[in-house]
Amino acid sequence: MSKPAKLQNIETIEELNASLSAFIRACFAGAEMVNILEAGCGNRWPLDLAGMNYQLTGVDVDETGLELRKKQEDDLDVAILADLCTLELDENQFDVVYSSYVLEHVDGAERALENFSRWLKPGGFLILKFPDRDSVFGFITRMVPFRLHVLYKKYIYRLPDAGKPGHGPFPTVYDRVVSRKGMYEFCKKHDLSILHEYGTNFYLKRLGRLRGFVTPVLKMIEVLSLQRLESDYNNLVFIIQKPLQPGT
């Protein structure tokens, strides 16, 4: 498979979430009800769908995290404690399946993705955010001990609850599909259409004055990897559509 074209880079998380929100609102303008699955619950629902009628179902394997979400946000219409790889839900049920920074933590991520596709209605949308295992950042993340991930979140991202029950970061697995090439191969195998894809590197902004030092180092690692690792972004965002009819 040839290397995909250069990604459009989104500069801020606010810009990204606004773009995703606008996409969903435009696709379902006038819909009586939109059924959304949040596959792997975060601390809160990040998209602004004000004015839309939608039902939000959340699934997570972390009981503590799910209870915190229900208690603090109370924004889930349905909350399910389950493993995304083994959960059984009706086929063709959801208009949107949204999964944000979850797949990198799943052992057997392709099974979870197959479930997402099965649960989507024909013509529905799969919105994925995940770190690319084949970025420089992803490579370093795979090599660095987990306890250092916790320290990074606690002191660089300034998250005092990092590592506590119900709070990230969580151990990473990084199955092969959790990459740009892997996602292209998965979509081709399952007749899914990639409508939009973006790259982000929000973490660089948090480095402040260190960014001027870190960026050249990332570029050097990309060169030393013979371009196999990407330094322009660390995270990927995909908007993927399930065909209306099989094989279309």
Domain boundaries, the chain: 8-133+171-205+234-241
The reported pLDDT for the residue numbered 96 is 99
**Cα–Cα distance for residue pair 153/188, rounded to 1 Å:** 35
pLDDT tens digits for 56-73? 999 999 999 999 999 999
The amino acid at residue 142 is: R
Confidence category of residue 2, pLDDT binned at 50, 70, 90: very low
Specify the pLDDT at position 11.
81
- The pLDDT assigned to 207 comes to 63
Of residues 158 and 39, which shows the higher confidence score? 39
Look at 91 and 227; give whichever has higher pLDDT: 91
Tell me the C-alpha distance between 219 and 117, whole Å.
36
Query: Which range (51-60, 81-90, 193-202, 215-224) has the least confidence?
Result: 215-224
Band (pLDDT 50/70/90 cuts) for residue 24 is very high
Buried b (16+ CB within 10 A) or exposed e, 198-208: bbbbebbeeee
The confidence score (pLDDT) of residue 1 equals: 39
Find the mean pLDDT for residues 22-50.
Answer: 95
Give the mean pLDDT of 211-220.
Answer: 77
Q: Are 143 and 151 in contact (CB under 8 A)?
A: no
Q: How many residues does this entry show for the chain?
A: 248
> Does the pLDDT value for residue 182 go beyond 80?
yes
What count of Cα atoms within 13 Å lies in the side-chain half-sphere of residue 233?
20
Asked if CATH classification 3.50.50.60 holds for the domain at 8-133+171-205+234-241, the reply, yes or no, is: no
Residue 5: band (very low, low, confident or very high) from pLDDT cuts 50, 70, 90: low
Question: If you average pLDDT over residues 224-248, what whole number do you get?
Answer: 85
What is the pLDDT confidence band of residue 152, given thresholds at 50, 70 and 90?
A: confident
Largest CA distance in the chain: 53
Per-residue pLDDT tens over the stretch 106-138: 999 999 999 999 999 999 999 999 999 998 888
- Can you give the pLDDT at residue 248? 57
- Of all residues in the chain, the percent with pLDDT exceeding 90 is 60
Contacts of 121 (CB under 8 A, 6+ apart): 35, 92, 93, 94, 95, 242
Stretch 31-55: mean pLDDT, rounded?
A: 95
User: What b/e readout covers 26-48, taking b as 16+ CB neighbours within 10 angstroms?
Assistant: ebbeeeeebbbbbbbbbeebbbe
Of residues 6, 7, 9, 8, the one with CA closest to residue 205: 9
Check residue 90 and give its pLDDT: 96
- Specify the pLDDT at position 215: 77
Label residue 204 left, alpha or beta by phi (over 0 means left) and psi (-120 to 50 means alpha): alpha
For residue 47, what pLDDT is reported? 97
Q: Are 221 and 123 in contact (CB under 8 A)?
A: no
Tell me the CA distances in angstroms from 62 to 39, 67, 107, one per residue in order. 12, 9, 15
Distance from C-alpha of 183 to C-alpha of 196, rounded to nearest angstrom: 13
- Label the pairing between strands 94-100 and 34-39: parallel
